[in-house]
Amino acid sequence: MNVVAIVTVAHHASDGELALTPVHGEPLLTHTVRGLLDVPEISSVLVAAPQRCASSFTEALRGLGCRVIPGSLRQAFAAVEPELPRDSVVLLHDALRAFVPAQTVRDVLFAVRDGASVVVPVLPMADTVKVTDEKSLIIGTEDRSRLRTVQTPIGFTVSAFPSSLDAVDLAGATTIPGHPDAMRVTTDFELSLAEAIAAAPKNEETL
């Protein structure tokens, strides 16, 4: 099974700089890519780097066996698509989710291998969700029993991936259980958690 992982910072304009935030002595991006490379089922890792961050990303990933593609996610996929067998699995991963357990990654790619076109790890919504009106007054409570927060990597078949480049539409996607360690690291609190995860003794289930 050929599996290619594409790492992106496409969510927000500031994500490129956040990906370079030091965690336990190394950029967050370095932890992200190294973790993916440590999953034996993954054949290759590409990083879509914003033009303004291309040099910094290349430096942060020096010595790791990945390719940095300056430009958009679409450009990164175009660089690898001609080489992909039609039964390949493509993983789309957020650079700020650096500590996804290896088993979660495997669960995603195995679900695609077993027939799902799009697979996404999710967690149940833990917070109470209120509905407000146009005056910001609470008018009701949302039933959270079926609400889920989305994580990455998202797995695709090659044929399903191109249509999702501009806006990832997850309607109809298969879900698998996510993991709390797969958080996006963007706040000081999350950085503190990331430092603790990075400093903890590693085992085979941790990226």
Q: What is the DSSP letter of 28?
A: H
User: 86 pairs with which residues across the strands?
Assistant: none
In this predicted structure, the answer to whether residue 206 has a pLDDT above a threshold of 50 is no
Q: What is the DSSP letter of 97?
A: -
Q: What is the DSSP letter of 165?
A: S
**Mean pLDDT value across residues 145-172:** 85
In this predicted structure, the answer to whether residue 115 has a pLDDT above a threshold of 70 is yes
* Residue-averaged pLDDT of the chain: 91
Backbone angles phi, psi at 6, to 5 degrees: -115, 120
For residue 185, what are its two tokens? 């690291």
DSSP-derived pairing of the beta strands 89-94 and 138-142: unpaired
In this predicted structure, the answer to whether residue 152 has a pLDDT above a threshold of 50 is yes
What residue ranges do the domains of the chain occupy? 3-122+149-199
* Side chain identity at residue 108, one-letter code: V
pTM metric for this prediction: 0.91
For residue 100, what are its two tokens? 């996804």
What is the percent of the chain with per-residue pLDDT over 90, rounded to a whole number? 77
Residue in 122, 187, 123, 185 with CA at minimum distance from that of residue 197: 185
For residue 95, what are its two tokens? 């650079």
**Mean pLDDT value across residues 2-11:** 91
Residue in 174, 160, 157 with CA at minimum distance from that of residue 120: 174
Q: Quote the pLDDT of residue 13.
A: 76
Evaluate whether 42 touches 49 at the Cβ level (below 8 Å).
no
Q: Structurally, what CATH architecture does the domain formed by 3-122+149-199 represent?
A: Alpha-Beta Complex (3.90)
Tens of pLDDT, residues 43-89: 999 999 999 999 999 999 999 999 999 998 889 999 999 989 999 99
If one compares 202 and 19, the residue with the highest pLDDT of the two is 19
Please tell me whether the peptide bond between 153 and the residue prior to it is cis, using omega within 30 degrees of 0: yes
For residue 53, what are its two tokens? 């961050």
Evaluate whether 32 touches 1 at the Cβ level (below 8 Å).
no
In this predicted structure, the answer to whether residue 164 has a pLDDT above a threshold of 70 is no
Q: Quote the pLDDT of residue 19.
A: 96
